[in-house]
Structure 1
Amino acid sequence: MARRAQDVYTEWRGGTCRVKWWSGDYHDDGRKRFESKGGFTDEDEAFQYGQDKLYEIRHGTGISNRDGATLMTEWIDDWFAATDHAYTTYKSYKAIINRHIKPYFRGKTVAEIDVIAYRAFRKHIHKKLPSPGSAKNVMTVLGMILDDAVPRLIRVSPVERTRQRGRYVKKTQRERKRDMDIGAVGRLARNAEAVFGYPGHVMIWTMAMTGMRPGELFGLRREYCYPNWPAADPRPDEDEEERYAEDAARYGAGEDRMPAIRVQQQVQQEKGTIALVPPKYFSYRTLVVPPFLADMLEKLLASHGNEWVFPGIEGGCLASTSFSVNYWPAISQGADARVAKRGNKYPARPAIPAVPDFAGKRIYLLRHGHKAWLDEDGHSRFAVESRMGHEVPGVEGTYSSVTVAMERAIMKALQERWERFQEQADAS
C-alpha cells in the first residue's frame, strides 16, 4: 500500500516500489515538479529515501536529477562562457579544455566525477604530458571547473588538496639558476646589438637593471620612458591627478630629478594582432634607473622616432616578431655569420658567440637576476617587491611605502655595480 506525506509519496509498480518527491521547482503551469527513483523492494526504505531527498532540497544541499545528469562537456561550456580572463589566460584555458579535459570526460556526467575518477585523470595527464608544470596547469583548470560545480551539480568537490595517496611524487623541480654575472649580461647586450642594433643592446641592460617583464619591455612606448616621462605622460585617468603631480615633483625637471621608466602597460598577442593591456596583475609602477642606463635610453630615443622604445629589425613591436624564436636563440646561444642577400630583410652580421650562462635558458632569467642583485645589496623588502611588480601581503604591504631614499639607494647600488663592471673590463 502506498505511503504519502507532504511533497513525498510512494507507489508500487509491478514488483518494485517507486518514490516521488518535490524537486523544489514548478512547471510552467504552476504545478509542482516531482522527481522519482524506482527499484525499491521495501516501501519504508523508499519512503525514507524520498524524505531524505526532500530534506536536502529544503536545506540547500539537494541536487535534482536533471542537474545531476548534466554532462561534463555541457558544464565545462557553461563554466568557461561565464569566466572573464585576460586574452592570454583565456587562450591558455581554452587550449587545456579542448585538448585534454573535454575529450577525456566526454559522455560522463558531472556527478560521475568522484575522487577515483579525479585520480585516474591526474594519473592519465601526468603520463601524457612530459612537463610536470603543464600537467599541473591542466589539473588547476579541472579543479576550478569541479569546485564551481558545488553545490548545484555535486555536493562536494572531488579535488584533493590533502596529502596525495599512492606513491610519493616529488614536486616540480625548480629551474636551476646561476648567480647573474654582469659580464654575461654585457655579452648578451653585445649579441643583441649584433642581432637588432642599438635597441637590442639597451633593452638587455634595461631588463637587467629594472627587472621588467618581457611584455612590459616590448610594450614600452617613448612617452613612458626617460627622458620623456613624466612630462610626456598622456595622463589618461583623471582620478590619478594626485599621482601625476607627485611624479612630476619626484621624477620631473630639476637637479634632484630621478630618471625613471613608468610601467603603465604591456603588449600581448590577441588573435594575430598585438594589443596594449595593463601590466600583469595590474602592477603599475615607476622604476628609477641608474645614470648610465639613463644616458643609454636618452641616446636611444634620440636615434629613432619609433613609437616603441625597443623596435624590432623592421621597426615594428618586438611582440610581433616571435622574439623567442627569431631573436633570443641567436642572442643567448650564438649564431653563424650572415651574409646580406638581395631581397633578404635581415642585414649581414658577423658570427655571434654563445653566452653559456644563458644558452638554452629563458630571457626571463634576467628579471630573476635583477631581484637577486637587489637582495644582495640589502634593499628594503617592500621596495624590492614593489619594483618587481609584486604585492606584499599583510601589515607590511598596508603600511609600507617606497621612499625617495629607497629609490636613490637602488639607483646608487646599480650604478656602482655597473662601474665595477666597467673597471674590470678596462683592466682585462
Structure 2
Amino acid sequence: MGKVNQYVHTEWRGGTCRVKWWSGELLPNGRKRYESKGGFLDEEDAVQYGLDQMYEIRHGTHVSNRDGSTLMTVWLDEWLAAMDHGHLTERVYRSKVETHIRPYFRTRAVGEIDVLACRAFKKHLHQVLAPDSASAVMMVFGMIMDDAVPRLIRVSPIERKRRRGRHTKKPRERKRDMTIEAVEQLAQNAQVLLGLSGYALIWTMALTGMRPGELYGLTRDYCYPAWPASDPRTDPDEEDRYEEDVLRYGSDGDLMPAIRVERQVQVGEGKLQFYPPKFGSYRTLVIPDGLAALLAELLTSHDSDWVFPGIRGGSLGSVDFRGTFWRQIADGADEHDGPRVLKPRPALPAVPSFQGKRLYLLRHGHKAWMDEDGHSRFAVESRMGHEVPGVEGTYSSVTVAMERGIMKKLQERWELR
C-alpha cells in the first residue's frame, strides 16, 4: 500500500488500484473510519480521487459512501417525520409520497437517483396521472431530493424549468361573473337538501369569502350575535384585541355584526379536529345586516353548537360535502328521494355559472365583488385571509370606515336577491 499522507492510501489488487481516505469520522473504538474506491488503472488517478474526497470533506460538500447508499424509503421516513406544515399540506404531501414516490423508488438508494431516473419517474407519472396531478407529485419529489443535499447527495437531480424561448402563458380556470341570482339559486337548492342551514351556508360564503373548512368549523361562540362577548379568550397575548373587539363589534347600538375566523375543521388521525385557519389567517369579517339577521334566525332554529349543522346536527366537515351535496346544488338534480332526505324532494334546477365548478368559486366570487365595489386592496386582501407584502402590508390597517363601507355594499347586494 502506498501512503500519500496520513489520510490517503493506495493499494494494488488484481491489476487495479484502490484508494482509501479518512472519512473524518471515528469508529466506536477510536480508530479512523475509512472509505474506499477501486477500479483505477493509474495510481495517480486514484491518488487524485482520494485527495478530491478529502477536499470535499474539509469544505463540507462530501457525501460518504454510507450516506449515499441510504435507501430512498429510509430517507422518505426521515423527510416525512421532519415535515412542519399545516395539517392539510402535510396530508397531501404524505399521500403523494405513499401513493407514488415510495412505491416507485422503494428498492433504490438515494445516491442512485440521477437525472435519467427522475425523467423516467416523470414519464411514468404522466402515463398514470393527469398533467396537473403529475406536476404536483413532481413538486413534492423535488423538495424531497433538494432536502437530501448535501448529506445524501451532492446536488439535486431534479431538472428545473428554464425560461428560454417563447413564453407560454399558463391556462387559467374559466370563471363566470358571480351574480346575485346565481347565489340565490344555489342557496335555495341547498335549502332543499339541508334546510335553513344550507341556505345560510351558501350566502355566508358568498358574503364573507370564508373557506369551506372555516365554514364547517364555525361554532356559535365565534359567530354573530354571540361573538365577541362569547369569545373563549384562549390566548393571553391577544388581550388587547379582545378588548378592542368588544368596542367595535357586536349586536348592540352602533356596533358592527361580525364573524371571527379562528379555526377550521379537517379530518386528522381518523376524526374531525380543529386546526388553525390556512396560513394562520385569523381575521374578523363584518357582515351586512341582512346576513346578520339570517344567522340570528338560523341559530335560534337549532341547538347544535355548529352554526351550519348537517342533517343530523353534526359538522358538515365530517361528510363529503362536495360529493353528497355540492354537485346536486350546483349541477341540479331530478326529483327523487335524495341522500338521507326523509321525504320526496322537488327537482333542483342547475345553476349554469357553477355547473361542474368548485364550491371554492364562491370565495373567488366574493373577492371579485370586493374589487368591483372599489374597496382598498389592503382591506380586501385582509378579508380574504391573504398577507399583503411590502410597505403596504406594514403601514396599512383596516379601519372602521373601511368595514362600514364593506357592510354597506354587501347589504346592497343582499337586497337584490
| TM-score normalised by structure 1 residue count | 0.93
**TM-superposition CA deviations, 1:191-221 (whole Å, max 9, x none):** 1111110111111110000000011111110
More moved, 16-25 vs 90-99: 90-99
The corresponding residue for 1:222 is 220
Indicate yes or no: 2:396 matched with 1:397.
no
Tell me which residue corresponds to 2:188. Answer: 190
Q: Shift of the alpha carbon at 1:298? A: 1.0
Q: Are residues 390 and 276 of structure 1, via their aligned partners in 2, closer, same or farther at CA, if it must alter by over 3 Å?
A: same
1:380-421 deviation line (CA, Å, top 9, x unaligned):
1111010001111112111111111111111111111222x2
CA contact (8 A) 2:214 2:261 kept: yes
Aligned length: 417
Tell me the distance in 2 between the aligned counterparts of 1:392 and 1:291: 28
Task: Tell which deviates more after alignment, 356-365 or 172-181.
Answer: 172-181
Q: Give the match for residue 25 of structure 2.
A: 25
The answer to whether the 8 A contact 1:313-1:346 is kept is no
**Could you tell me whether the CA contact under 8 Å between 2:224 and 2:259 is conserved in 1?**
yes
1:2-401 → structure 2 map (5 Å cutoff): 2-130=2-130, 132-163=131-162, 173-252=171-250, 254-339=252-337, 346-401=342-397
Instruction: Give distance in 1, aligned partners of 2:213 and 2:169.
Output: 29
Residues 205-248 of structure 1: CA distance to partner in whole angstroms, max 9, x if unpaired?
10000000011111110111111110111111111110000000
Measure the CA separation in 2 of the matches of 1:318 and 1:57: 56
**1:412 maps onto 2:411 in alignment:** no
Which moves more between the two structures, 283-292 or 119-128?
Answer: 119-128
Give the 3-state SS of the residue equivalent to 1:5 in structure 2: coil
Amino acid at match of 2:282: Y
C-alpha separation in 2, matches of 1:234 and 1:348: 42
SS of residue paired to 1:34:
strand
More displaced, 109-118 or 144-153? 109-118
Inter-partner Cα distance in structure 1 for 2:250 and 2:179: 33
Write the letter of the residue equivalent to 1:353.
P
Q: Check conservation: 1:259, 1:294, Cα contact below 8 A.
A: yes
Following TM superposition, by how much is the alpha carbon of 1:279 offset from its aligned partner in structure 2, in angstroms? 0.7
CA distance 1:340–1:320, change in 2 (3 Å):
closer
Distance apart, 1:309 and its partner CA: 0.6
For 2:166 and 2:71, the matched residues in 1 are separated by 33
Alpha-carbon offset, residue 164 of structure 1: 7.3
Instruction: Answer whether contact 2:225 2:251 (CA < 8 A) is retained.
Output: no
Query: Structure 2 regions of 5+ residues with no counterpart?
Result: none
Distance (Å, rounded) in 1 between the aligned partners of 2:288 and 2:73: 54
Distance 1:98 1:168 in 2: 37
Q: 2: distance between equivalents of 1:91 and 1:253?
A: 39
By how many angstroms is 1:89 displaced? 2.6
Distance 1:400 1:82, change over 3 A: same
Write the letter of the residue equivalent to 1:107. T
Using the aligned pairs only, state the percent identity: 64
Aligned twin of 1:426: none
Q: Root-mean-square deviation (CA), in Å?
A: 2.0
Distance 1:380 1:158 in 2: 45
Kept after mapping to 2: 8 A contact 1:146/1:159: yes
Matched AA of 2:233: R
Letter aligned with residue 404 of structure 1? V
Give the drift of 1:171: 6.5
Q: C-alpha separation between the residues in 2 aligned to 1:188 and 1:122?
A: 40
Instruction: Tell me if structure 1 keeps the 8 A contact 2:86–2:278.
Output: no
Asked whether the equivalents of residues 3 and 47 of structure 1 are also in contact (C-alpha less than 8 Å), the reply is no
Name the CA shift for 1:164/1:67 in 2 (closer, same or farther; >3 Å). Answer: farther
Q: Give me the whole-angstrom Cα distance separating, in 2, the residues matched to 1:113 and 1:60.
A: 21
Q: Matches of 1:366 and 1:346 in 2, distance apart?
A: 29
- Give the conservation status (yes or no) of the 8 Å contact 2:73–2:105: yes
Amino acid at match of 1:399: Y
SS in 1 for 2:314: coil
Q: Counterparts of 1:318 and 1:254 in 2: how far apart (Å)?
A: 30
Cα 1:249–1:204, aligned 2, differ >3 Å: closer, same or farther? same
TM-score, structure 2 as length reference = 0.95
Question: SS state of the match for residue 229, structure 1?
Answer: coil
